[in-house]
Amino acid sequence: MSAPKHSPAPARPAAMKALPKIIFMSRWLQVPLYLGLIIAQAVYVVLFLKEVWHLVTHAMTLDETNIMLVVLGLIDVVMISNLLIMVIVGGYETFVSRLGVEGHPDEPEWLDHVNAGVLKVKLSMALISISSIHLLKTFINPDQHTFHTVLWQVIIHVAFLVSALIMAWVDRLTTHTHPKHFHSETIAPRSALD
């Protein structure tokens, strides 16, 4: 006995095809946001160079603690810059369009399996690193901070840690529950609507 044949789905009217296309194309509205983040990245480069110049020109007059604070400030700028790159590159690749850097020697290792869940976990890890640098700066120079300031910094850092663990756990649950969906999502080609 042969299986019943399914009738083909009725074709959508031409007017209905336009709306999904407009909705899909609306992702390009995010491009100015990513360009704005690139400008913010340039501002951080200027800030970094300014801090390096300050460190070099005052190296003989600064004590060890102040040099360490300046260096931690530089690391902080680099960590924020890394966060910006992850948002710009990963966000554009995930939500706007493929970058087309497959096989390029400078392609980031994490970009070939990036999706919204992976991006959230990576961003939360970057925020924890930035928060750690701020805490370290506070502990190196505690005299400039009140007890309540230090306490709130520790509470915020712990909140970042807990939220990162929860996001990683949820991402692990969803990828193990629906692995085919997530693996096909990373390699599936973009629609012809591009």
pLDDT in tens, 42-57: 999 999 999 999 999 9
* 125 within a domain of the structure (yes/no): yes
* 156 within a domain of the structure (yes/no): yes
* 43 within a domain of the structure (yes/no): yes
6 against 35, higher pLDDT: 35
53 against 66, higher pLDDT: 53
- Average pLDDT of the chain is 78
Tokens of 40: 């913010």
The per-residue pLDDT for 194 is 47
What is the total count of domains within the chain? 1
The per-residue pLDDT for 34 is 93
The per-residue pLDDT for 9 is 56
* 123 within a domain of the structure (yes/no): yes
55 against 8, higher pLDDT: 55
Whole domain around residue 107: which residue ranges?
29-179
**Smallest Cα–Cα separation from 158: which of 128, 124, 120?**
128
Q: pLDDT of 114-167, one tens digit each?
A: 667 677 777 788 888 888 888 888 887 777 777 788 888 888 888 888 888 888
CA atoms within 13 A on the CB side of 152: 5
Task: Give every CB contact of residue 86 below 8 A, 6+ residues apart in sequence.
Answer: 119, 122, 123, 126
Query: For 103-111, what is the mean pLDDT?
Result: 75
Query: For 95-108, what is the mean pLDDT?
Result: 79
89 against 143, higher pLDDT: 89
* 187 within a domain of the structure (yes/no): no
* 13 within a domain of the structure (yes/no): no
* 14 within a domain of the structure (yes/no): no
**pTM of the predicted structure, to 2 decimals:** 0.65
- Alpha carbon distances (Å) from 64 to 58, 99, 140: 12, 44, 11
* 4 within a domain of the structure (yes/no): no
